[in-house]
Amino acid sequence: MNRRSFAQSFGGAVALSALVSSSGLGESSSQTPGKMMAITAHPGDGLFTMGATLAQQISRGGSGVLLSLSLGERGAPKDIPVPRYGEMQRTATEKATRLLGTEAIFLAYPDAEIPFSEEGALAVCDVIREHKPDVIVTHWSGSWHKDHQNCHLIVRDAVFYAGLGTLVRSRPAHSVSKVFYADNWEDATNFVPDTYLDIEAIYEKWMQACDFYPMWRGQTGFFRYNDYYSSLSIMRGCLSGFKHAVALMSDPGQRMVRSRSL
């Protein structure tokens, strides 16, 4: 992670709203939620693990955009051709993000073949510079899925490149204030959440958005996404004192606290 960009932006607006520290249920809330960008390997991950966070940001007066590096087309069931399923995923994502009030952007990497490359990091850098998010939510690195691992690494370098003023691209540099990692059943290795977000206000809308995906209803595979993520929001809510909550892990580079006394 680009620690320098965090240091440069220290004191800037904290855009993720209504955050609750897991220690002692101390509550904090931003006055001015900013722009959030969710960056995901596959659209389903974007909606199921980052969609509620995006929707909450928007409900508090902020804005959001979802960037998916692929269409997630290789999750196709046997009776649907892969290209056709990719278009179904695109359509579902456009409907879901419209419902949540966010924008959807796709890069054209093939599902299961998202490379960790300079080209990919610079492509995401350019999207960050164009949309100027205050906060990014993306995959945690501890994943069994290579696309998720590579997305994590791409975002790490893209945030660095986006904030590097001496790196000349078509748009000027932009420093992202904060990066959070999403609570994903496939990215669970060493995932330790430290931030809990109250999503009660947008819970039903988020459930409706997820329901645009056949995968959510278990129609494309074995995993019960709807049961898992709806239950997870209750479990995270139990831990944080909310009815429904999303748990996030903040990037270690932004955890420094400057204080003259304790």
Identify the residue among 2, 38, 42, 85 touching Zn ion (CB under 5 A): 42
Closer residue to Zn ion, CB minimum distance, 74 or 95:
74
Instruction: For the CB of residue 67, give the shortest distance to Zn ion in the complex, in Å.
Output: 14
Dihedral, CA atoms, 203, 29, 251, 199, nearest 10 degrees?
-10
Phi-psi category of residue 25: left, alpha or beta, with phi > 0 → left and psi -120 to 50 → alpha = left
Segment contacting Zn ion (CB under 5 A): 6-14, 42-50, 215-223, 233-241? Answer: 42-50
Rounded Cα gap, residues 191 and 170, in angstroms: 36
Closer residue to Zn ion, CB minimum distance, 90 or 132:
90
Instruction: For the CB of residue 30, give the shortest distance to Zn ion in the complex, in Å.
Output: 29
* Helix H or strand E segment including 118: helix 118-131
Segment contacting Zn ion (CB under 5 A): 41-49, 53-61, 167-175, 200-208? Answer: 41-49
Closer residue to Zn ion, CB minimum distance, 41 or 249:
41
- Write the CA distances from 21 to 32, 43, 179, 195, integer angstroms: 19, 28, 16, 5
Q: What is the rounded end-to-end Cα distance, in angstroms, of the chain?
A: 27
Residue with tokens 């520290």: 21
Does position 73 interact with Zn ion (CB under 5 A)? The reply is: no
Instruction: For the CB of residue 202, give the shortest distance to Zn ion in the complex, in Å.
Output: 22
Residue with tokens 């196709």: 76
Closer residue to Zn ion, CB minimum distance, 42 or 205:
42
Does position 45 interact with Zn ion (CB under 5 A)? The reply is: yes
Does position 134 interact with Zn ion (CB under 5 A)? The reply is: no
Positions that interact with Zn ion (CB under 5 A): 41-42, 45
